[in-house]
Chains A and B, each alone.
Chain A
Amino acid sequence: MSDVRILGVGMHPWGKWGRNFAEYGVVAARAALADAGLSPSDVQYLAAGNTMRNGYPGYVAGSTLAQALGWSGIPVSSSYAACASGAVALDAARARIRAGQADVALVIGADTAPKGFFGPLPGDRPEDPDWLRFHVLGATNPTYFALYARRRMECFGATPKDFAAVKVKNSRHGLSNPNARYRKLFTEDEIAESPIVADPLRLVDICATSDGAAALVLTSADYAAAHEANSRSVRVAAVSTVTPTYPNTSLDLPDIATDSGVGAPPPPRAFRDSIAHAAYEEASLAPSDLSCAEVYDLSTALELDWYENIGLCEPGGAEALLHSGATTLGGRVPVNPSGGLASFGEAIPAQALAQICELTWQLRGEAGERQVENARVGLAINQGLFGHGSCVILTS
């Protein structure tokens, strides 16, 4: 299969800016095009991640952003896969390029987030699992994060101090990142004073909701080679957008119950493990090949789960790996060198693409103070509710 490369990346800084999501998207797209040395008229296809929280324009983000960038007649697509939307949009653009239908595609994710807990869309919908879990149980996203965190404590002996150490690390990583929303170094004492939202998790253990945008310029290998004078490209070695395999007996948002294990063989691996597995298979790479990783730290505790899901250690080994310094900048395989969601907060359709922007800068050696030494292989992983996997591997 023909190679696809990333020729340019760009972001709009994360924050709570209160403007229309398309404004952020255009800033990120123009930055990515400038980074690639291209102009909007060079783009042959536009793929965008949708936002559910900005009315109809958010459901058709591809055309909203195409109009905002100035109609050029190109085909667009609009993808929704919750937090995995960016990867699904990237996958659509990659397929288009591989099929020979385009040489240059622009992939954009942008969001304007509400304050506080994410809630379901309005209306009375007992058949919508997302509505049901809020109405009947008050099960917010942090409730699920807390259930996973408590499970980790009970099964592996993790402690709130371990979770705090993730926050300290990521807040240090994000300090020098100009696109991060929070550039403040947290201490363990400050974290211990943070109010409990969903025990065992405190407010600072849980990622905020943010405005922001990220964009990629994706090209065929030939096109990248011809424009390499403009910008150093990186190779997209794998894109995994897998869904669970029945029976999915792992508790997953927004469901109030898992599948039943009766009547079907267990899947070869749990859903979160399968997301990375598919990417490693496609890239013919192994966890030991990684230079760095961006993992979806919706909560501090969840970052530790991801270490195991992407094969950095065995189940139950994440706390030891964290405390060894291996996942800190300067360590063997720094995790979330960008500062992660701890430093950004979550801008849903932009987040998977923001991870890829960071990996691109790392592989090009352009990450400044947060540069991972000699970075050659980067993995970004994330999961969207309703069963969306997202994992991308880039190589230099």
Chain B
Amino acid sequence: MKPRIPVVAGLFTEDGGQARLLGGHCPRCGAWFFPKQWSFCRNPHCTGVTLDDAELSSRGRLWSWADNRYAPPPPYPARDPFVPYGVAAVELADEQMVVLGQLATGTDPERLSLGQEMELVVEPLFEDDDGLHTVWKWKPGGGS
């Protein structure tokens, strides 16, 4: 079996078969950040100087979506032939933030509706001789 390699290190995990986004959480004011990006809290009302590594909610509600029909420029690792892909914006309730992700493979954008529940998954973005290069995506459902 080919190894699974995250397209970017440190943004998500699928350890234990559970997809999770890896962000930052301020222990003082409670704000969340994705990506974590910096080592400090950037809430101007907060005096926090550290940011904990934290996993974000893996479920949220669909805020909007788009279906891309043309290959983007590099550094998107578009394969030939190009396969259209959707992008979803999903609102996380606890974090009170919207996070983008591609739509999971096989999702029909025509059947999506605003506010429906979405679930985080980790899937291959592309495959080459080194392995399966993985990324987080949003999948409809997960209402269980």
Contacts and interface: CB of A to CB of B under 8 A. Distances in A.
Contacts of B85: 138
Contacts of B87: 137-139, 143, 147
Interface stretch (A93-101, A104-112, A244-252): A244-252
B16 interface: no
A127 B135 CA distance: 16
Contacts of B42: 246
Interface of A: 116-120, 124, 126-127, 131-140, 142-143, 146-148, 150-151, 154-155, 195-200, 246-247, 249, 251, 256-265
Interface in B19-76: 23, 26, 29-35, 37, 42-46, 63-70, 72-76
B111 to A, nearest CB: 13
B7 to A, nearest CB: 6
Contacts of A247: 31, 43, 96
Interface of B: 7-9, 11, 23, 26, 29-35, 37, 42-46, 63-70, 72-78, 85, 87, 89, 94-102, 109, 113-114, 125, 135
A143 B67 CA distance: 8
Contacts of B68: 138, 140, 142-143, 146, 197-199
Contacts of B95: 260, 262
Nearest to A126: B8
Nearest to B137: A137
Contacts of B63: 151, 251
Contacts of B11: 136
Counting chain B CB atoms within 10 Å of each CB, which of A124, A147, A197 scores highest? A147
B64 A134 contact: no
Contacts of A251: 63-64, 89, 98, 100
Nearest to B24: A260
Given A137-B102, A261-B96, 14 more contacts: A116-B73, A126-B8, A136-B11, A136-B135, A140-B68, A140-B73, A147-B89, A200-B66, A257-B97, A260-B33, A260-B97, A262-B31, A262-B95, A262-B96
Contacts of A140: 68, 72-73
B34 A256 contact: yes
Contact of A260 (B31, B78, B114): B31
Contacts of B67: 146, 196, 198-199
Pairs of residues from A and B, 8 with the lowest C-beta to C-beta distance, nearest first:
A261-B96, A263-B29, A119-B73, A146-B66, A199-B67, A260-B32, A154-B114, A135-B75
Contact of B100 (A133, A154, A197): A133
A33 B7 CA distance: 52
Contacts of A249: 96-98
Contacts of B33: 257, 259-260
Contact of B75 (A120, A127, A148, A196): A120
A138 B72 CA distance: 6
Contact of A147 (B9, B64, B99): B64
A246 B96 CA distance: 13
Nearest to B23: A257
A263 B100 contact: no
B70 A197 contact: yes
A116 B78 CA distance: 15
A260 B65 CA distance: 20
Contacts of B9: 126
B97 A258 contact: yes
A135 B89 CA distance: 17
Contacts of B8: 126, 132, 135-136
Contacts of A139: 72, 87, 100
B82 to A, nearest CB: 10
A117 B72 contact: yes
B20 to A, nearest CB: 14
A259 B35 CA distance: 10
A304 to B, nearest CB: 15
A346 to B, nearest CB: 16
A178 to B, nearest CB: 32
Nearest to B34: A257
Contacts of A131: 75
A262 B69 CA distance: 36
A252 B86 CA distance: 18
A394 B63 CA distance: 37
A264 B75 contact: no
5 contacts: A134-B74, A135-B77, A147-B64, A257-B35, A263-B46
A14 B78 CA distance: 31
Given A197-B70, A199-B69, A246-B42, A264 B29 contact: yes
Contacts of A118: 73
